[in-house]
Amino acid sequence: MGDPMQKRKLGTSNLEVSALGLGCMGMSFSYGPPKDEGEMISLIHAAVDRGVTFFDTAEVYGPFTNELLLGKALPSVRQKVVIATKFGFNLNPDGSPGWQGLNSRPERIRQAAEGSLQRLNIDVIDLFYQHRVDPEVPIEDVAGTVKDLIQQGKVKHFGLSEAGVQTIRRAHAVQPVTALQSEYSLWWRKPEKEVIPVLEELGIGLVPYSPLGKGFLTGTIRATTDLGQSDFRSSLPRFTPEAMRANQAFVDLLAAIAQQKHATPAQIALAWLLAQKPWIVPIPGTTKLARLEENIAAVAIELTPADLRAIEAAASQAPIQGERYPEHLEKMTGR
């Protein structure tokens, strides 16, 4: 097996997790049709066997089906794992996919917590994130509600997702924020400008989602790839054939660096994130054992200052084209 999985602490909260977590969304939701439940339970167990202790889900994934999957997969290893889930959407009353806008009102947060506890088959949520900032509800009320849930023993840690720096500061003043989950990768580096310095100052961990650029940085997606209608990437500006052709130059440069390190582009992309700060814990998602093992092997890759400079040079030679989200989704971030 080689080196055991390294551990990292999310900020100054002392929440210790494996250096890489597992994003579970794609097992049930968003990347094409849901995968076979039995196979996904086996994959989650394989991750635990290989030292992964940090599992990411949300009420809205499905809705509900992804939490239910983890609720079946994880009880036997509950003592070893940290389970993160999220609240903040009004779900469709008929349980169909999607949502009807944001809702972080205190009663909705409490209702979401009870539902998640039941579906996940646990008695405490290790990390409870606000999925997106709700402009209608003061963040102090959100933080105060989660603080109450922590005092009641239903939640251990409070997190935010895709929040702006003022929101992070205001929330943290009411209930310390353990982690911010945000998109961060070699092809989405916006958090470096304002967010990462504030996290460093306040002692908050960063959990990057889409650390492999929603699959693009693995080098397996080409402009000719047909993603299919049930894959949400087909609606993203960066995944138009034109943008993919333009962005292929960056992936090619990444592949050249990977070859020198006897690694894959995905491993270099993950190792680069891990090298940025000791309190960064990426959560790549996968539904395949081979990919899981490839991702985990990235933890052992040491990038030298020269390697990091080469990656930086590649990034400046081939800037990424296209927005990460369509406008209506981008508007929900950074608030």
Q: How many CB atoms lie within 10 A of CB 39?
A: 13
- Chain centre to alpha carbon of residue 282: 7
Looking from the CA of 64 toward its CB, the CA atoms found within 13 Å total 12
Residue 325 known to be catalytic: no
> Which one from 61, 129, 184, 209 is the annotated catalytic residue?
61
Given a contact cutoff of 8 angstroms between Cβ atoms, the answer to whether 281 and 10 are in contact is yes
Peptide bond into 63 cis (omega under 30): yes
Residues in a beta bridge with 280: 206
Q: What is the largest CA-CA distance in the chain?
A: 54
Dihedral angle at the C-alpha atoms of 57, 61, 63, 67, nearest 10 degrees? -20
- Token reading at 120: 């996940």
Residue 207, helix vs strand vs coil? strand
Given a contact cutoff of 8 angstroms between Cβ atoms, the answer to whether 160 and 130 are in contact is yes
Give me the helix-helix angle, 265-276 and 305-317, nearest 10°: 110
Q: Which residue has the tokens 């080196």?
A: 3
Alpha-carbon distance of 145 to 250, in angstroms, equals 44
Is residue 226 within a helix (H) or strand (E), and if so which, with residue range?
none
> In the chain, what are the helix, strand and coil shares in percent, each to the nearest 5?
45, 15, 35
Alpha-carbon distance of 319 to 259, in angstroms, equals 21
- Token reading at 314: 């590649």
Q: Which residues form the catalytic set?
A: 61
